[in-house]
Structure formats: C-alpha cells, structure tokens
Structure 1
Amino acid sequence: MLEKIGTEFERVVAGYLKANFSECKVIHNLEVYSAYLKKNTQIDIIFIHPKLVCVIELKNWTKYVSGSYDDVNWKGKSRSTNTLYHPNIYYQNLIHIRALRNAMRRRGVVPVPCANLICFPDGTDLLTECAECCTLSQLCHKLRTLIDNSQTTIDVDSTYSVIESLDTRS
C-alpha cells in the first residue's frame, strides 16, 4: 500500500512540474545501473529544463522527516504510527545522480551537471537543515532559484531522449 501511495505522490509531482514549467520535460521512475550499489536503482523524477537538470527524490512522509547530511539514517513518520528509518536520503540521491551520469558516460555522452533536491508533501515537518529538502509548495521556488543561478545551457529534447534511453527496463 505504501508503494502505491508513494507512486501516486510521484505522479502528482511530475504533473505539478509540467504544469509550472512548460519549457521542461520530466522523466518519472527511471531505472539505471549503479556500480556503487552493484544493482539497478530507481530515480523518482528527472526534471530537464533549458538551464538545469535536477534529480528529485520524493518521499511521501506526511508527518515529519528528521536527518542531516552526516546521519547514516534519516527517520520520519507518515500516515501510520510507525517511525520510518531510511538510509540518508541526501546521499541516496547523490548515488542516483552518480548512476545517471555514469550511464550517460557508458553511452559515450558527456554527462550534464545535475542538481539534487528532495521533496516531501505539504504539511510535512522538515526537521532538517539539509537545504536540498523542501515540500511540494516550495519545490517551484527551489527550482527557479537553481535555474536563475545556472550558467548551463541544456538541449532539453536531446537530453530527454538520451536519459530516457538509459532505462534498464527498456
């Protein structure tokens, strides 16, 4: 059941991004091989904009999240009364970024720089100083700030095609 709820949140976020950034493309649930993990890993959202590629990890933890850059595990609570423990979400997403960039290299493509964001549903209490964490209503502002500060130029269509072709399930 939790996986279904999480997948629904992923669909909501993908639609939200497409509605707020008409010039972007969004890839949802891309699976790539991670040499670090020695197995495939799934990337929740890849946001491709003319000035930015951002890998976004989504956690549908609705009550709170607690963790910092140097914590081995983060904890949180969702709809259930059980406390959830998860390996450091910030580093998990860095592993996703590394896997994506290495998959591009294996295809002979120069990898694009990728930003790292972690998004939770609105109402989640963010008990973290991790600047990459935000709620859904803060996500557009975080992305616009990254876009405004970017010096990168991305060919959205070709980057989308290359990244989409990397899915190991294809």
Structure 2
Amino acid sequence: MEPVRVRAATAGELLALQRIEVASGEPFREIGMAEIADMPPLPLDALAAYQRAGRAWVAGTPTGEPVAFVVVDLVDDAAHVQQLSVHPDFTRRRIGAALLDHVSVWAAGRGLPALTLTTFRAVPWNAPYYARCGFRELMPEELTLGLTAVLAAEAGLGLDPAARVAMRRLTG
C-alpha cells in the first residue's frame, strides 16, 4: 500500500475533486441507491470557496495525485464535514480516517470542540464507518439549529430524512 499525504487542496485540483466525488458515488448504485450515485458533485465555485477559505484538503499519493478529499463548513460550534470522498480504487486504506484526523487537529487548533457530519444511517461506508472513526449519532434533542438546517436542506434535495443521521466527534 502506497502511503498518502494530507495537504491543502490547490485551485488546480478542483476538477479532480469533482471526479473523485463522482467516482465515490458509484458504489451507491450497487446497493440500489442510483439516485445518490447520479447526484452531481459539488460545483466548482463551491469547491473554490472552500479552497480559498482554507477548508479543503486532499489525500494524495507520494506523486501528489489526489485520491480523496474533504471540505468543511463551520456549523454552530463545530467543524462540519460537508463532503468526504475517497476514490473507490483507494478505499480500505484508512485514507478517510486520515482526512478526518487532519480536520480534527485543524478544528482543535481553532478552538472548535467537535466535528459534525450528516450521513446515511444504514449504508455500511457511511454511519457505521463514521462510528468506527469515533463519531456518535446525535439524538433529536442534541441537534443544533445549524445541524437541523443542514438536515432540512438535504431533505429539500430529496434525501429521505428517515435515512439520514447527524453525528458528532470531539476534536483533539
């Protein structure tokens, strides 16, 4: 296994990030969620905004080729993982975990006590994976106003609220 290095995304890599996101959606097709696989990637202008704000990171091979990325919003008192994508050719190598650990250190350095995310409850590489990475499901009474808004926006895009879950992990 080739080691990966986490670093800030560059403006010249944004198209590659879109390709990674599209490729990472393909496994949803195999579990009967073609509508998720067919969703468009984050727009280039959104990726550019994350990159300019210093909230976009890639995991790259030693030659520098990005194979995974994460972008982060600030939601309430947390660094919110808006998108984490690993190219299917590079799964099961702890690359996603390395990106999450990087974001955790970044967030802690900015005084943010936690990471949050929303994901599919029953997809094996979603909520169960994040639980193995130290996230825990938030109960409805624990949802912040910001996370409630994120979940509502996802429902507006057609994602079934009953299939979604918000999760949190302490930084540090």
TM-score by length of 2: 0.33
Question: Where is the helix percentage greater, Structure 1 or Structure 2?
Answer: 2
Question: Where is the strand percentage greater, Structure 1 or Structure 2?
Answer: 1
TM-score by length of 1: 0.33
